[in-house]
Chain A
Amino acid sequence: MRVSVQPDRFDPAAEMAGFGTGPTTGAVVTFTGIVRDDTGRMQALEIEHYPGMTEAVIADYARAAAERFGLSDVLVIHRHGRLAIGEPIMMVATAARHRQAAFEAAEYLMDWLKSRAPFWKKEVGADGESWVAAKDSDEDALGRW
């Protein structure tokens, strides 16, 4: 298991080196979140977090996912600071015996991290700055777990 909260850009492909290489791994799923611009006027995304709490919360959910879905490996990387459009924000990778567990574990982690890991996004655009509001649909997504 590896958890990293970092300002630096990462290469999702390079992060997969050595991931889930144990003999019981039959499936690896990866998810990468990318900074996108829905308005055509965004210049950057700023991500604030709560140092100390962030790492602990992510590690708790990673451990819970590993136990619940029988994962042989799990990786979570989440960035903070100022990010440009097109850059990776975060990634999750899960390794399991079978694909269903690997897919479900990745979705479980994404759903919980979106609403429970202490990150806040601010869009910086040509017209000013605005904090991204939490979506009810993200909170509702937790109901399925």
Chain B
Amino acid sequence: MEVVYFAWVRERIGLPRESVTTAAATPRALIAELSAREPRYGAAFADPSALRVALDRKLSDFDAPLAGVREVAFFPPMTGG
């Protein structure tokens, strides 16, 4: 699946997007898997309560199922307006 990052999550990971092959069932499992790979992911995902997740461009939650999802996005709380 495609994993995309925005704002300081993108900066800490050092990539705007990447293709990830994973069997993770939920976004929470996916960030645990990525965090175990390299420290930069751990730095970005250290506090999930400071993050938001979108599945196929809809806001979701960290325990939602990833089955069938093509694009997962992680980012900080939005600051528009």
A residues with a Cβ closer than 8 A to B are 33, 47-50, 52-53, 56, 78, 89-90, 110, 113-122, 131-134, 139
Q: B70 contacts the other chain (Cβ, under 8 Å)?
A: no
B80 lies within 8 A of A131 (CB) = no
A116 lies within 8 A of B78 (CB) = yes
A50 lies within 8 A of B81 (CB) = no
A50 lies within 8 A of B77 (CB) = no
B residues with a Cβ closer than 8 A to A are 4, 6-8, 54, 57-59, 73, 75-81
A–B Cβ pairs within 8 angstroms, 28 of them? A33-B81, A48-B7, A50-B4, A50-B54, A50-B57, A50-B75, A52-B57, A53-B58, A53-B73, A56-B57, A78-B80, A89-B81, A114-B79, A115-B78, A117-B78, A117-B80, A118-B6, A118-B73, A118-B80, A119-B78, A120-B6, A120-B76, A120-B79, A121-B80, A122-B7, A131-B7, A133-B77, A134-B78
A120 lies within 8 A of B81 (CB) = no
Q: Which of A52, A90, A118, A133 contacts B75 (CB 8 A)?
A: A118
Q: List 11 other contacts, CB 8 Å, given A48-B6, A114-B81, A119-B78.
A: A33-B81, A50-B54, A50-B57, A53-B58, A56-B57, A78-B80, A115-B78, A116-B78, A120-B7, A120-B75, A133-B79
Chain B neighbourhood of A120, CB < 8 A:
6-7, 75-76, 78-79
Chain A neighbourhood of B81, CB < 8 A:
33, 89-90, 110, 113-114, 117, 119
A119 lies within 8 A of B80 (CB) = yes
B76 lies within 8 A of A114 (CB) = no
Chain B neighbourhood of A49, CB < 8 A:
80
CA distance A145 to B61 in the complex (A): 21
Chain B neighbourhood of A48, CB < 8 A:
6-7
CB distance from B61 to the nearest CB of A (A): 14
Pick the 6 closest A-B CB pairs, nearest first: A119-B80, A134-B77, A114-B81, A120-B7, A53-B57, A117-B80
